[in-house]
Structure 1
Amino acid sequence: MGASRSGIAYTVGAYLLWGVLPLYFLMLVPTGPWEVVAWRVLLSFVFCLVLLAVTRGWASLRAIIRQPRLLGWTALAGILIYGNWQVFLIGTLSGQVIETSLGYFINPIFTVLLGVFVLRERISKLQWTAIGIAAVAVVVIIIAHGRFPWIALSLTASFGLYGLVKKQIGSAVDAVSGLTMESFWLIPVAAVTLIIVGSTDGITFGAVSVWHTVLVAGAGIATAVPLLCFAAGARRIDLTLVGMFQFITPVMQFLVGWALLKEPMPTERWIGFAIVWVAIGVFLVDLALKKQRGRRAAPAALI
């Protein structure tokens, strides 16, 4: 029960932080998405090294290095989260925050499907109904909007698979050591990216203003903290429950894009999102029913 409660707290905290990240990254303009992600990688690695030094977690890191299987899992996780970061920044900095929110609206349903087909987790008929409704929503958005939502679906796939990898790693890798290795594998990618950016558009870090430099430097912390919370939560609770809580992030991102940034929401897009929200409603009803049945079963087990 204690692990479950802490897992819920970590997971919800991660999703709340991710919900406001678009506003943070928009403050980094004129830095482009490729440069931002490169600094995210390098500064996240530095931040994790500091955490390891403070917590004296070097033994856990050495344990990962001695196991080729864990090295492979952390490398795969690094590739997936890099793809997620890059697509998210492209969407955010190109005025498509609402589409990024769509990706995270769909992601819980994809996560549940991964739980069913890969981890053999069992789900209810209501959850299957929600999956079907969400599939209809994606088709409606593609047809009505006239454009394939590649940003949304890329975010869905990359983060869903990242969550699956973290679940497969489980308790064998703690959150800080895991993110340290994930960032480590991406250092060459980040270095090459900065070289290319420097030779084309030019590096903006340290060249705009003191405040801008501080904000870019803080990208490592802004990146690492929610990921650490997510990693700590994902290995404590079922993957299906992780998927349920993820609705927090897209709701916040949608409100940022629509209410604060005034991104366009034509009628056809409202229809597609409305169908997605119906699917979410079905999921939440199912979750409430499960909790109710759990409360009833607990006293019965004591008799």
Structure 2
Amino acid sequence: MPKIAPPQSVTLSGLLPALGAYGIWCLFPLYFALLHAVSPFEVVGWRLLCTLPICLVAVLLLGKGPALRTALTTPRLFGALTLSGLLIGGNWLSYVLAVMDGHVLAASLGYYINPLVNVLTATIFLKEKLSARQWIAVALAAIGVALLARGALDTLWISLAIALTFAGYGLIRKVAPVEALTGLTVETMVLAIPALGIMAWQMQQPAGLAMGTSPTISALLFCAGPLTAVPLMLFATAARRLPFAVLGFIQFVTPTGLFLMSVFLFDEPLKPIQLVCFAFIWSAIAVFCWDILSRREAR
């Protein structure tokens, strides 16, 4: 495992890519709604297969070939990126299976648990130190998440699988000495074989493949490539520039955006327990932001 970088400060060069990644992920329900008639397994397969050529073209245009060769021929680095690729692939698959089985709350809960896992990971493995205000924010968020988890104990293992796979992915991309584009290219190379297996399996199903059935569906499926590559590269960039605990806490942007979208766009009913949970989480975000701004003003 490479040496851990010294403690980092919160800068715009790290915050902006993180907000960009989480903001794009907020919009994914709108994209998936357009593909409601397509098998989720096919969507995952095309996400992987369409991301790889985009990465390879970007590597060629930006002259990152030497860096890619180094990543592929350095055993320890290639092993780390193989593991991170399998973790993000497992995260996508866990999410798809949860949604297919009707466990949408469990899937959403996973992304609420993930920031807390990131904070624990940062303090245990990366030796990052949180201020008193930041610990208060973590406690408030933990109370809110616990309220949601209390009503979903039977599917909590699904939420934990989603949270742990994404936290593991973020940790590896944090410490792996590789640029965002190079790392993502290696990860998609690793996942290309499983993706081909998924597509071969889908072709044997009665519905077959949706790609090619209409220009609109085909274009939307191809867009899975850039919609996957861009936020993951932004996330990997932010992971190298931000403290891991801060990166995790910013992730509350995604489930908060999904909550607002579900209420105001999809007219889903708002349960009182959810409102209380979100009140705790939003309070935690406010305290966390207050702490970051206070530190910047002090410097």
TM-score (norm 1): 0.86
Give matches, 1:100-179, under 5 Å: 100-144=107-151, 147-169=154-176, 172-179=177-184
Identity of aligned residues (%): 35
* Aligned: 1:23 with 2:23: no
* Aligned: 1:268 with 2:282: no
Asked if the contact 2:55/2:184 (under 8 Å) is kept, the reply is yes
Shift of 1:246: 1.9
Q: Distance in 1 between matches of 2:158 and 2:32?
A: 17
When residues 136 and 201 of structure 1 are mapped into structure 2, their CA distance, relative to the original with a 3 A threshold, is farther
Partner of 1:242: 247
When residues 137 and 248 of structure 1 are mapped into structure 2, their CA distance, relative to the original with a 3 A threshold, is closer
Partner of 1:232: 237
Give matches, 1:55-94, under 5 Å: 55-91=62-98
Asked if the contact 2:109/2:145 (under 8 Å) is kept, the reply is no
Partner of 1:14: 21
Asked if the contact 1:91/1:151 (under 8 Å) is kept, the reply is yes
Partner of 1:34: 41
Structure 1: state its 5+ residue gaps. Answer: 299-303
Asked if the contact 2:98/2:158 (under 8 Å) is kept, the reply is yes
Shift of 1:2: 12
Shift of 1:264: 4.1
Q: Distance in 2 between matches of 1:124 and 1:138?
A: 21
* Aligned: 1:284 with 2:281: no
Partner of 2:3: none
Question: Aligned Cα RMSD in Å?
Answer: 2.6
Asked if the contact 1:98/1:263 (under 8 Å) is kept, the reply is no
* Aligned: 1:50 with 2:40: no
Q: Distance in 2 between matches of 1:242 and 1:203?
A: 40
Q: Distance in 2 between matches of 1:98 and 1:286?
A: 30
Shift of 1:21: 1.4
Shift of 1:102: 3.6
Cα deviation digits, residues 202-255 of structure 1 (max 9, x gap): 333324311011000110110001101111121122212212322222221112
* Aligned: 1:220 with 2:221: no
Cα deviation digits, residues 93-129 of structure 1 (max 9, x gap): 6776665444333322221111100100001223223
Partner of 1:301: none
Asked if the contact 1:133/1:276 (under 8 Å) is kept, the reply is yes
Instruction: Identify the match of residue 257 of structure 1 among 255, 262, 274.
Output: 262
Shift of 1:132: 3.1
Letter in 1 for 2:195: A
> How many residues align structurally?
292
- Secondary structure, in 3 states, of the residue corresponding to 1:75? helix
- Secondary structure, in 3 states, of the residue corresponding to 1:235? helix
When residues 87 and 22 of structure 1 are mapped into structure 2, their CA distance, relative to the original with a 3 A threshold, is farther
